[in-house]
Amino acid sequence: MMSCIPIMLASTPRSGTNYLHGVMAKSSRDVMTCYEIFNKKAVFCTNNYLKDLSGNLKTDFESIRDTRLVDYARGDKSRFISNLLDIANERGRKYLLFKIFPDQIEGNLEKLNEINNIKVIILTRHPIECFISLTKAASLKSWTKTDTTAIKPNINLKKFLAWHNKTSKWYEQWANAKVYSRYSLTYENDIKGVHPALLFNIINTKLNLGLTTADQYEPSNHLQLQDKTENWRNKVGNGLEFYSQVLDVNAEAKLYRYYSTDT
């Protein structure tokens, strides 16, 4: 039997990661999607696999928020990925898709290369758009599909630059790692406004997954934008003032890029 191959989505919150997972889950039965598995509060692998994990690890986990499960997953990430691969194999899946965010994998990334044939998708979104979306979600204390168009928070340049610096380092470590089979996607070019079937085809082709759409069993919807405002300056209460401050410190490029190789 062919062993399941892991696909790791390296990104930041508010970049379209849930949508990408949903498209892959609905487009092929050969992909087991597990979402955010190294969150500090829960193992977001969906409850569909909780029973399998309880059985394989001989522990009766109460929920995906069970601290025993969270500690186990974060304690040895390579081992936990291997546990999920075992479940995927048992279910006859060819690929395991999961995502990671900053602060969820520390230290030497090459350790993950011990997992055979691991593939990485690097997904970025314009930093200013991501930062504004994060700010709105934090103010609402909601990360679900809530319309945030009417919310116009003020944003702080110092906080943006600090967040940008931290996030840039996160992406740079993936860009500089030479051990992975990887492909880069952007929210602007590959997620927003892109037909779900095309997104599936892009990932399938670029990562050479060999999946077909013949087994498609549930059509995906287009990405539903939470903020309908197009220009980022109009998404916040101090857009023009903030932009002027950005120009004063010669930081305009940071609104749209994380690092020099990000196009």
Domain-embedded: residue 64: yes
Domain-embedded: residue 222: yes
CA dist 117 and 29 (Å) reads 20
Domain-embedded: residue 232: yes
**How much is the pLDDT for 222?**
67
Domain-embedded: residue 260: no
Antiparallel, parallel or unpaired: β 95-100 and 31-36: parallel
- Count of structural domains, the chain: 1
Kindly report the CATH number assigned to the domain that includes residue 232. 3.40.50.300
Q: What number of residues does the chain have?
A: 263
**How much is the pLDDT for 147?**
84
Q: How many CB atoms lie under 10 A from the CB of residue 203?
A: 24
**How much is the pLDDT for 262?**
43
**How much is the pLDDT for 107?**
56
Domain-embedded: residue 147: yes
**How much is the pLDDT for 143?**
64
User: In a structure prediction context, what are the per-residue pLDDT tens digits for the chain, which is 263 residues long?
Assistant: 458 999 999 999 999 999 999 899 888 889 999 999 999 999 988 778 999 999 999 999 999 999 999 999 998 888 899 999 999 999 999 999 999 998 887 655 556 656 667 888 999 999 999 999 999 988 887 666 788 889 999 999 999 999 999 999 888 887 766 555 788 999 999 999 899 989 999 999 988 899 876 444 455 566 777 888 989 999 999 999 999 999 999 999 999 998 644 44
**How much is the pLDDT for 181?**
77
CA dist 94 and 165 (Å) reads 37
Domain-embedded: residue 263: no
The boundaries of the domain holding residue 89 are 5-255
CA dist 128 and 134 (Å) reads 10
pTM recorded for the entire structure: 0.89
Point out which residues pair with 7 in neighbouring strands.
97, 119
**How much is the pLDDT for 226?**
82
Domain-embedded: residue 87: yes
Domain-embedded: residue 262: no
**How much is the pLDDT for 26?**
87
